[in-house]
Structure formats: structure tokens, C-alpha cells
Structure 1
Amino acid sequence: MYIKLNLVKKIKPLLFFLLLTPSIYWTTKFYLGDMGINPIDKIIREFGNFSLRLIIFTLFITPLAKIKALRSIEILRRMIGLFAFYYICLHFISYIFLDHFFNWNYILKDVYKRPFITFGFTSFILCIPLAATSNNKLIKRIGYKIWKKIHRLIYFIAPLAALHYYLLTKADKTEPLIYIILIVILLVFRIFYYLSKKDSLPR
């Protein structure tokens, strides 16, 4: 049974709404004072955790799309990736505004002195060119080969984001470890798939 392309296109607006909803929900809860003892820390973590889940989900789409029956889901990857960037931006803005109120001296010291902030900040910076080139006009302008090279930054972004989450987690590290394992598996799959394609080329 194949998932038809038309069906996936029809699902896109629903998926857009579903991916947008958590940000509205958490923001509303924050302004209503319904996020527990430390609401600033809570909303920063919620945005960050959800962005990491979406990054991992985008990595999952490629191996799934190799299955003929699921090939059509590949068209969802760009939207999910852009929503990952959206939540990364919310995570970053919450950190610099709510937590540090744009105190750049303190923020830069944080980036320099605290490894988990360094990893998170680096991951955010690397996401910018991916988001900026996620439209058809720019793909045509810069060319597919350059675009593909830019989007390989995801192989650095995902591990850095997972390490950021692992290092900031002080108690139970089970969830960040699961994310790290998933990312490693997905990256190993990419490497083996790339090598198998390379070996199959005529010499």
C-alpha cells in the first residue's frame, strides 16, 4: 500500500496547525502563570526539547522515504525542518530575553564558559543558513549541489543540540541519551547508505 502524494499534500495544512499548536499552548500557559515554580526555565526547556524532537524527526524522514510506499512523505521534511528552526528561535529568544533580558555581556560569558550553552549556540548559528536556503528560489539561485552541501550541516546540528540537552540535564539523563542514540543510528545509516551508493557507481 502506497501513501499517495495527493494525500500527503492534503495532510500538510493539518500538520502545520499541529506543529504550531505547542508554541501557542506553552506561551499562553506562561502568560497565565501556569508553568510551575520556575516558568522561565520551563518554557525555555519546552521550546528546546520540541525543536530537538523535530530535528530528529527530519532525520527519520530520509530513511523512511527510501521505502517506496512512503516516498511521498519526503515533501513534509522542509516544513518540519522550518518548524524545528521556529522552535529553536523561540528557545533562543526565551533564553536571551526572559532569562537574561538582553544582557549580552552575560550571554557571551555563558557561551564562552558553559559548554552546554556553547553547543546550543553553535547549533543555533548553524541552523540559520539551512532555514535561509529552504525555499525554491534560493535553491535555483545557488544551485542544487551548493544547497545540498549547506543542508549537510544538519549532521553537525543534531549531535550538538543533543549534547546541549545532555549537558544541561542534571538529574535523569535517560531522555537526552535516547536522543543521542537515535541520532547516532540515523547518522550511521546515512554513512552506510552513502557508501553503498558510491560502491554501486560504475568505475
Structure 2
Amino acid sequence: MFAVMSSPTAAPLRPARPKLLHPAAKPLLFVACLLPFVWLLYAAVMNQLGANPAEALIRATGDWTLRFLCIVLAVTPLRLWTKQPALARFRRMLGLFVFFYAVLHFLAYAWLDMGFDVATIARDIPKRPFALVGFLALLLLVPLAATSFNRAIKALGASRWRALHKSVYAIVLLGLLHFFWMRAAKNNFAEVAVYAMVIAVLLGWRARNAWRARRASGG
């Protein structure tokens, strides 16, 4: 999921470290990615989410969605900077966890704020810009999650599959805008600034690499 093209000008990659290729690496990562969900579930059951549990759950699942988006975007830069190609084998799982936490975020809103009333949800989303961009980001995630499998790559063709998964860049910007509008209601911009800086660095790195690749190819 969320394929990212590497620059042809990147330095040669060293052989992967054995730990990254260990059979337990993926299961351990899977467990680590589930820990935020386990903690939120435990906190909800044990009534440890504060005075407003509904808001805490909605906010936390949204925060983790944005964090996992940043982690996914960081895989390729880290892979090249550390010269460890095996890092790429974790990107699909991380991308699917983006979708997992995004769905949890929407379900928390639909259940705890809207009581799963479809008509109310349909009226509420278009009225509030932050809800609209967040819902749009979720819709864009659906085809990425649905095509995060080898059969999908073969069916679509590698070039079309990569083009589709580049929509992750639009998704992360929509997610950041959603986050900004959520925090703007309470004049809380400190976290927004941190995420914006991280995303700007990650997208700026890709833009620079794409520009260098075009120059190298004479485009």
C-alpha cells in the first residue's frame, strides 16, 4: 500500500540487516501497531478516558491515523538514508493500519456523536468543512486498502497501481487540514505545527527527488 518511487540517483543499498528479514519482524510490527488500539479499548472499558470519553476516543483514533500516515511516508526516506531495502517490506502493513485507524475514527464519530443515525451523519458531514475533508480522505483510502495485495498489482498493472497509490499525498494533506480545523476550534495549533513540519519535510524530500530524477532523465 502507498507505493513510493525511489530516486534513480540514490546511493547503492547495502544488504539488509538480518533483524529486518527475521520471520518474527512482521508479527512484532503488527503487535506494535495494534498497541494504541489495545490501550484505547482498555481505557474505555476501565473508564480511564477522562471527563469526555467520546471526544477522547474520536480524537485519539484520528491522531493515530495521522501518525501512521507520517510513518508510511517516512519508510522510503528511511530506507534510502539507512541503506536498508528490507524496510520496504513493512510499508504495506503500515498502510493498512492507516486505513484501520481511519475507519475506527469514523466509526467512533458515527457511533458516539451521531448514534449511527445515517440520515443525521449524511446531513452533518457536508455542513462542517473539517468533517467533509476527513470523510473525503477516508474515501480516498478505500481503493488503496482494497488494492494493497499482489493480485491487485497484477490486475491493475504496476504503473497504474503506483499512480493510484500516489493519492496518499493528497490524503495526508486532507488529513492535516482535517486536523487543523479540529484544533482551530479550540485555538490549539501547537500539534498542528509539528505535524505540518513533519509532512512538509517528507513531501519536500519527495518533490526534490522527483525534480532530480526529471533533470537526470533530461525531462
> Which bracket does the TM-score occupy, shorter chain normalised?
over 0.9
Does the 8 Å CA contact 2:40/2:57 hold for their aligned counterparts? Answer: yes
Q: 2:192 aligns with which of 168, 176, 187?
A: 176
Find 1:25's aligned residue among 36, 39, 42. Answer: 39
2:157 maps to amino acid: G
Q: Distance in 2 between matches of 1:96 and 1:3?
A: 47
Task: Tell me the distance in 1 between the aligned counterparts of 2:140 and 2:68.
Answer: 16
CA RMSD of aligned residues (A): 1.8
Runs of 4+ in 1 over 6 A off after TM superposition: none
Question: Which structure is richer in relative contact order (CA contacts within 8 A, separation 6 or more)?
Answer: 2
Partner of 2:6: none
1:115 corresponds to which of 110, 129, 147: 129
Give the letter aligned to residue 189 of structure 2: K
What residue ranges of structure 1 are gaps of 5+ in the alignment? none
167-176 vs 102-111, which deviates more? Answer: 102-111
Partners of 1:98 and 1:6 lie apart in 2 by 45
Q: What are the residue-to-residue correspondences of 1:140-155 with 2, within 5 Å?
A: 140-155=154-169
SS at 2:83 equivalent? helix
TM-score normalised over the length of structure 2: 0.87
TM-aligned CA deviation for residue 67 of structure 1: 2.9
Q: Corresponding residue for 1:43?
A: 57
Provide, for residues 41-80 of structure 1, a one-character-per-residue CA deviation record: whole Å limited to 9, x for no partner.
Answer: 1011111101100101111111122236222211111111
- What is the rounded CA distance, in whole Å, between the counterparts of 1:34 and 1:76 in structure 2? 32
Q: Which residue of 1 aligns with 2:3?
A: none
1:24, 1:2 → 2: CA distance?
36
* Equivalent residue for 2:174, pick from 132, 148, 160: 160
Task: Indicate the residue corresponding to 1:4 in structure 2.
Answer: 16
Q: CA deviation at 1:31?
A: 2.3
Q: Per the alignment, in what secondary structure is the counterpart of residue 180 of structure 2?
A: helix
2:116 aligned to which of 73, 85, 102: 102
Question: What is the aligned counterpart of 1:65 among 79, 92, 95?
Answer: 79
Q: Which residue identity is paired with 1:175?
A: E
Aligned length: 203
Structure 2 SS opposite 1:33: coil
TM-score (norm 1): 0.93
**Greater helix content:** 1
Q: Match of 1:34?
A: 48
